[in-house]
Amino acid sequence: MPAHTEDASYTIESVLSIESIWQEWSELAERADNIFLTPEWGSIWWRHFGQGHELCLSTCRNEAGDLVAIVPLYYWRRRPIRVLRFLGHGPGDELGPVVAPDDRPLAAAGLLRALERERYDVLLAEQLPGSGEWSSLLPGNRALSQGDSPILRLDYEDWDEYLRSRSKRVRYGMRHQEKDLHDSFRVRFRLADDPERLGEDLDTFFRLHREQWLEAPTAFDGPENAFQREFVLAAFERGWLRLWLLELDDRPVSAVLHYRFAGVEYSYQVTRDRAWDRFSVGSVVRNHAIRAALEEGMREFRFLRGGESYKARYATGDRGLETVGLARGLIGQVALLGAERYLSIRRSLRARSE
């Protein structure tokens, strides 16, 4: 029997598998408007990266029995320090409980209740959405880092109106980069929407990514490659995939891997052949994808984690991300203090190198 605890307003229950609550999870992820909190992302990630680990999955239901939050944790490490983390870290972006934004206080209470049943030393809660909200909801936490997560709200009548909202310099670049290509090449933007060709198109995307990084190991190599391929196929089947390729004279020179979910487009990765950098092919295919998202009724475009300067040219806001830690006992407190100092040193070194 799954363990559960109750109070007057909600019930916390342990769940044995993602599959056992798949439909409810899907509906809740839609309300959370976060593709990285879908059961597809969680289950595929768990299949590729969860071997040898223990799942620690809990649900939070209201008095009516409706699912309002899922707490998808697992034991990342048992020795010498018992560490809990959320599913999806690494290739994921926004992580944490699966919950609609308005129900985050209840999800935080559910998380704390779920933790009471676990034998852990440290909870490492990475990339929680928002700047400071979760840290205010989790008493006794240590704020380990904060990061940028720029967005573009697509509340414009058309592409021209959006361009008019940008600076003159940015507007000129967006308009003339593509025009320059049309003056010199046969230009084609091709959406990977043919199931018979999807494998080939995905191979092209990965090849461009490797060439961009001059054959050095990338985040898409090794075990992550198999994960990414499987999720792309799942996203394609559900209509979430937006893999755009830019072809010049029938040669692929750049590509973007995007996803669409709950009215939001996610810019997951942009890649290019460096030999064509003088034509800004990465920017051109990104501009095309944003324009398509606007014209096809998406309400928001997310650039995902990172404060790279190019994102500021497009963005109209920033969702923010934060990483916090919770410790239990002296061992946990010492470990979390060490992690905090380590991250602080890393940030200092990165700042000096920029």
Do 298 and 163 lie in one domain? The reply is yes
Tell me the pTM.
Answer: 0.92
Same domain for 219 and 339, yes or no, is: no
Based on the fold, state whether residues 257 and 162 are members of the same structural domain: yes
**DSSP-derived secondary structure for 115-158:** HTTS--SEEEEEEEESSSHHHHHSTT-EEEEEE--EEEE---SS
Average pLDDT, the chain: 92
Residue 277: what pLDDT?
93
Asked if residue 132 and residue 9 are part of one domain, the reply reads yes
Residues 268 and 328 in one domain: no
Which amino acid, one-letter code, is at 191? L
* 98 and 220 inside one domain: no
212 shares a domain with 139:
no
pLDDT tens digits for 189-206? 999 999 999 999 999 999
Q: Given this model, what pLDDT does residue 333 score?
A: 92
The predicted pLDDT at position 2 comes to 45
- What residues are paired with 318 via a beta bridge? 150
Cα–Cα dist 122/124, whole Å:
6
pLDDT at 338: 85
Measured distance CA(46)–CA(87) in Å, rounded? 7
Structural domain total, the chain: 2
Domain span holding position 209: 151-318
Q: Nearest to residue 231, comparing CAs of 43, 29, 51, 17?
A: 43
Report residues of the chain scoring pLDDT below 50: 1-6, 8
Same domain for 208 and 195: yes
The owner of tokens 């923010």 is: 320
CATH number of the domain enclosing 164:
3.40.630.30
Q: What is the pLDDT of residues 23-53, one digit of tens each?
A: 999 999 999 999 999 999 999 999 999 999 9
Q: Are residues 138 and 155 in the same domain?
A: no
Residues 142 and 160 in one domain: no
DSSP assignment string, 248-302: ETTEEEEEEEEEEETTEEEEEEEEE-GGGGGGTHHHHHHHHHHHHHHHTT-SEEE
The single-letter DSSP state of residue 94 is S
Quote the pLDDT of residue 6: 47
Q: Are residues 173 and 87 in the same domain?
A: no
**pLDDT confidence of residue 216:** 57
Query: Are residue 81 and residue 93 in the same domain, yes or no?
Result: yes
Q: What local confidence, expressed as pLDDT, does residue 222 receive?
A: 75
